[in-house]
Structure 1
Amino acid sequence: MVNGVQLEVSKSNLIALRYAKHATSGTHLDSATGLENSHTVIQAPSTLARRYMSSKSSPGLYTRLLIYSAFQVAFISFLLSYYNVQPLSYLSRRIRESQVWDHSVDALRDFLEPIKEIYDDVVDLIDVYDDDDDELTRNPRKSRKRREVKKESEVKKVAENSEKVDISKLPVLTREQLTLFDGSRPSKDVYLALLGRIYNVQKGSKYYAPGGSYHFFAGKDATRAFVTGDFSESGLTDDVRGLSEEDLLSIAEWSSFYEKNYELVGLLQGTYYDAKGKPTPRLQEVKKLTEKANEWKKAQAKENEIFPPCNSEWHKDSGRVWCSAKSGGVQRDWTGVPRKLFMPVSKTFRCACVRNFGAPLSEFPGSSFKKNRGDLDNPNVLEYENCHPSSISCQLVKT
């Protein structure tokens, strides 16, 4: 310890230091063993230091080695450049072909998954919808599995409570009257409508008032835009015809959100309520479609257990789909291989991880427990072009 700094000393340095110490104390050390030798003539510390330093390699040797290495690097670089060889591209291609990268990514994902689950559990203990950031904190939390279960029960509960509200006592506004509550008049609160139900969103005026990020929702019913993201004049409409089951469920979540966090202050005359505030046939139709969407979601969850969605990544001109033991958020004891899974009704397809060994998980004509091919023979399953049948990863080219 010198001036509070710990020094690490090699064996040769220790011997040299002991030389110096014993030279001043009247004893001498053998240069090979470092042991005391009282019969040897004592030498001055300066002589010992010169002997020790002379045993080290010459600085010129290091210089020659560096020059030789530099020439080697320059020569190899010249050869690579002359023959247009790109070692990094070659190594990258070989790694992709051998699927080492895929396994590394999957291993990293498997390592991070428990950490993410712990984080999600902590977040679930926090009230996401605080008074100041209702809208800003909502969307980033939408996809968490634990919150989905909680949200689904909340949507059902809020929907039941909304049915119990006596809407006959609520005022009915026309579209022209609702536009007066767009936040541009200091004397009036900010209103918006969703599926014909009008909410007072004044406490979130920093989002809905002019200049706010959600001002385009103020003073109108723009139900469709909540799920399409089309904020043009034609997109800000209450017409939900043609929306998918997933979109209808998202609208139900938004409806639950406003029922829970904002005051219901009226009804909008038009698509969903008449001039007397009574529900129109169109509203009943949307409710039935939402019920069917819930049934679809349950069936989809069951299908995902058999055909879990693939992992995917996309770039400008290409993409990749791959499977892992947790792809699609479905924990299982098999990985599967990427396949196109066609939907019989819509005739569209999605990427699914298909079990490629053992008995099939799905039921289809000609399925057999003896073939040891899993679900590969399902007629709705098709291989990706230019992808090896047993590969867990497929490179895709955008067309």
Structure 2
Amino acid sequence: MGEGVGNGVIPSTSEKVPTIPPAVKRKVVGPGLLTTTLIYAAVQVAILSCLSSYYNFGIRNATVLTIDFLYEFDYTKGYMEWISESWEETKESMKIPSRKAEDLKAVNAEVHIADGKQILTPEQLKFFDGSRDSKPVYLAILGRVYDVNKGKKHYGPGGGYSFFSGRDATRAFVTGDFTEKGLIDDTEGLSHEDLLGIRDWVSFYEKDYTLVGVVIGRYYDQDGKPTKELENTLARIETANEFRKLQAVETEVFPPCNSEWHQKTGGRVWCSTRSGGVNREWAGVPRVLLDQTTKSRRCACVKNFGTGLSGVEAVKKSNNRGDLDHPHLKQYPNCSPTANSCKIEEND
């Protein structure tokens, strides 16, 4: 070794200078692995779709398109059929409670005070917020007071639902507004779905907790009798329930279309035997369905042969045209009347 400047050491020419190691070749994902990965992802989507359609969550329509696509290929069709069969078995083994409207009981306005039930003022109800060890935890919904003390870890101080305790926060159960302005009992302006959500919550507390009385105010008077406000609210809930039933029937007759939108090519709607999550023997053709109550419109798959399903007079008079002559249907512009797929503009 030779001497270097500043007492440094200069490596001899015989020593190998370290070099950057050669780049490691990336592993190429083969078709088999890629397909398996796609199938795995599809399985997750399918399971989510089953859950969302069963509980009426919003992602249902988005995943129907994916499921329909996977049924088109022989390789994935077998997997999808297996998933469908497995889901039916899973529902039975898990005993998932039904979310169908007809299975939920109507709210009974009458609370029999003579049966030992309490009549509380809002101020008295506040004492049952879980902050006092000497008192159980109460909450109210639609003026009905429930003892939720067995769930104190959730409803007591620091619990995830503690903001419901010691008050009637009917509105917040469906709006998710847990501020002081949102934790109120007023249901004015709530949608049909929100009102049915309140009905579902009452059914939940009726089943899992004990009704101990009522709170004086919007829904019950000082004698514990239902107010006009409660009667009106329950009537609105019943109207919402009837509306949901009509929607369910309409969906069977006019299933929603599959749809997609691309910035470059625009939108497209089309029909299949599973579009809208409604399994049937016919695919139908896309039409605009006008809702006479809400004045809204949507794409519907319409049966275009044989006997119609809607039963309206105009359809009964038609001959082998299915429901095509229904008065609330409109053909998509620039689309063949017999096509099962239509391009749409943004404002269609």
Task: Return the letter of the residue paired with 2:318.
Answer: F
Distance in 2 between residues matched to 1:154 and 1:229, nearest whole Å: 22
Task: Return the letter of the residue paired with 2:326.
Answer: N
Residue 178 of structure 2 is aligned to residue 213 of structure 1: no
1:92-149 deviation digits (Å, cap 9, x = unpaired): xxxxxxxx9885334555553332222112222xxxxxxxxxxxxxxxx57xxxx135
Residue 81 of structure 2 is aligned to residue 116 of structure 1: no
Cα offset, 1:177, TM superposition: 2.4
The residue aligned with 2:69 is 104
Q: Is contact 1:326–1:332 with CA below 8 Å preserved after alignment?
A: yes
Out of 201, 223, 233, the position equivalent to 1:254 is 201
Cα offset, 1:341, TM superposition: 1.9
Cα offset, 1:366, TM superposition: 4.6
The residue aligned with 2:12 is none
The residue aligned with 2:141 is 194
* Pair 307,193 (structure 1): closer, same or farther in 2 beyond 3 Å: same
Distance in 2 between residues matched to 1:106 and 1:228, nearest whole Å: 38
SS at match of 2:150: helix
Distance in 2 between residues matched to 1:265 and 1:289, nearest whole Å: 25
Task: Return the letter of the residue paired with 2:113.
Answer: I
Cα offset, 1:311, TM superposition: 5.1
Q: Which has the larger radius of gyration?
A: 1
Q: Is contact 1:358–1:369 with CA below 8 Å preserved after alignment?
A: no
Task: Return the letter of the residue paired with 1:155.
Answer: K
Residue 170 of structure 2 is aligned to residue 223 of structure 1: yes
Out of 134, 157, 174, the position equivalent to 2:121 is 174
Structure 1 portions without partners, runs of 5+: 1-99, 125-140
Q: Is contact 2:219–2:226 with CA below 8 Å preserved after alignment?
A: yes
Distance in 2 between residues matched to 1:350 and 1:306, nearest whole Å: 14
* Pair 351,173 (structure 1): closer, same or farther in 2 beyond 3 Å: farther
SS at match of 2:298: strand
Distance in 2 between residues matched to 1:319 and 1:384, nearest whole Å: 12
1:29-50 deviation digits (Å, cap 9, x = unpaired): xxxxxxxxxxxxxxxxxxxxxx
Distance in 2 between residues matched to 1:278 and 1:101, nearest whole Å: 52
* Pair 301,104 (structure 1): closer, same or farther in 2 beyond 3 Å: closer
* TM-score of the aligned structures, taking structure 1 as reference length: 0.58
The residue aligned with 1:155 is 105
Residue 297 of structure 2 is aligned to residue 349 of structure 1: yes
Task: Return the letter of the residue paired with 2:105.
Answer: V
Structure 2 portions without partners, runs of 5+: 1-64
Identify the structure with bigger relative contact order (alpha carbons < 8 Å, sequence gap 6+).
2
Q: Is contact 1:356–1:373 with CA below 8 Å preserved after alignment?
A: yes
Distance in 2 between residues matched to 1:387 and 1:262, nearest whole Å: 56
* Pair 369,387 (structure 1): closer, same or farther in 2 beyond 3 Å: closer
Task: Return the letter of the residue paired with 1:369.
Answer: S
Distance in 1 between residues matched to 2:93 and 2:167, nearest whole Å: 37
Q: Is contact 2:68–2:274 with CA below 8 Å preserved after alignment?
A: no
Task: Return the letter of the residue paired with 1:350.
Answer: R
Task: Return the letter of the residue paired with 2:292.
Answer: P
1:172-199 deviation digits (Å, cap 9, x = unpaired): 2222222232233344322111100011
Give 1 or 2: higher helix fraction. Answer: 1
Q: Is contact 1:336–1:392 with CA below 8 Å preserved after alignment?
A: no
The residue aligned with 1:128 is none
* 1:6-155 → structure 2 map (5 Å cutoff): 103-107=68-72, 108=77, 112-124=83-95, 147-148=98-99, 152-153=102-103, 155=105
Moved over 6 A (4+): 312-320, 385-388, 393-396
Task: Return the letter of the residue paired with 1:148.
Answer: R
SS at match of 2:99: helix
SS at match of 1:192: strand
Distance in 2 between residues matched to 1:278 and 1:185, nearest whole Å: 29
Task: Return the letter of the residue paired with 2:86.
Answer: I
Distance in 1 between residues matched to 2:145 and 2:134, nearest whole Å: 18
Count of aligned pairs between the two proteins:
274
Distance in 2 between residues matched to 1:214 and 1:237, nearest whole Å: 15
1:284-330 deviation digits (Å, cap 9, x = unpaired): 12222233333333333322221123456899999876543234443
Distance in 2 between residues matched to 1:340 and 1:303, nearest whole Å: 14
SS at match of 2:105: helix
The residue aligned with 1:369 is 318
Distance in 1 between residues matched to 2:155 and 2:139, nearest whole Å: 9
SS at match of 1:272: coil
The residue aligned with 2:30 is none
* Pair 218,369 (structure 1): closer, same or farther in 2 beyond 3 Å: same
The residue aligned with 2:22 is none
Distance in 2 between residues matched to 1:397 and 1:205, nearest whole Å: 51
* TM-score of the aligned structures, taking structure 2 as reference length: 0.65
Cα offset, 1:393, TM superposition: 7.4
Distance in 2 between residues matched to 1:154 and 1:230, nearest whole Å: 25
The residue aligned with 1:275 is 222
Aligned Cα root-mean-square deviation (Å): 3.6
* Pair 388,207 (structure 1): closer, same or farther in 2 beyond 3 Å: farther
